[in-house]
Amino acid sequence: MRLDNLVVVAPDAGSVKKARMWATRLKAPTAIADKRRPDHSEVAEIVDLMGSVEGRTTLIVDDFVISGCTLADCARVLIDHGATAVYAAVSHGLMAGNARETLDESPIRRLFMTDSVETQPGKLPDKVEVVSVAGLFGEAIRRIAQRESISVLFN
């Protein structure tokens, strides 16, 4: 899948470094969602967006998805700021509680997540694409056992 006219989006300040890494690799600009938690509950809200997404395809990158709320909220803010399409990619998909419904009802067109955590007793929404890391992990284990470098796996 090719995403043209792309902006890579960090859904919060903690994801900026990862977003910049992906943006550099994809030769795309970066935008950052400003998320805050008004109290000590786990509820957060996106209050601002730094960077322009108007008329662009966006890719939210994050380390994991638990409830799906941050990704869904960020996606809505991106659409409100003129993004033409929203995609997301996460390293680990925990998908707890109502995450399936939250993501299915969100404007995210496609969510890519690895199979690094196996916690999917139910069917995932059609918009979720699981990317296997089994081969990568297997090769890393083989290289470590053979005392070979694993740095080539990260190119």
Catalytic residues, by residue number, are: 35
Q: Following DSSP, what letter does each residue of 74-138 receive, concatenated?
A: HHHHHHHTT-SEEEEEEEEE---TTHHHHHHTSSEEEEEEEBSS----SPPPTTEEEE--HHHHH
* Of 46, 101, 105, nearest in space to 77 by CA: 46
Q: What are phi and psi of 62, to 5 degrees?
A: -150, 165
First to last CA, the chain: 20
Q: What are phi and psi of 137, to 5 degrees?
A: -60, -45
Phi-psi region of 30 (alpha: psi -120 to 50; beta: other; left: phi over 0): beta
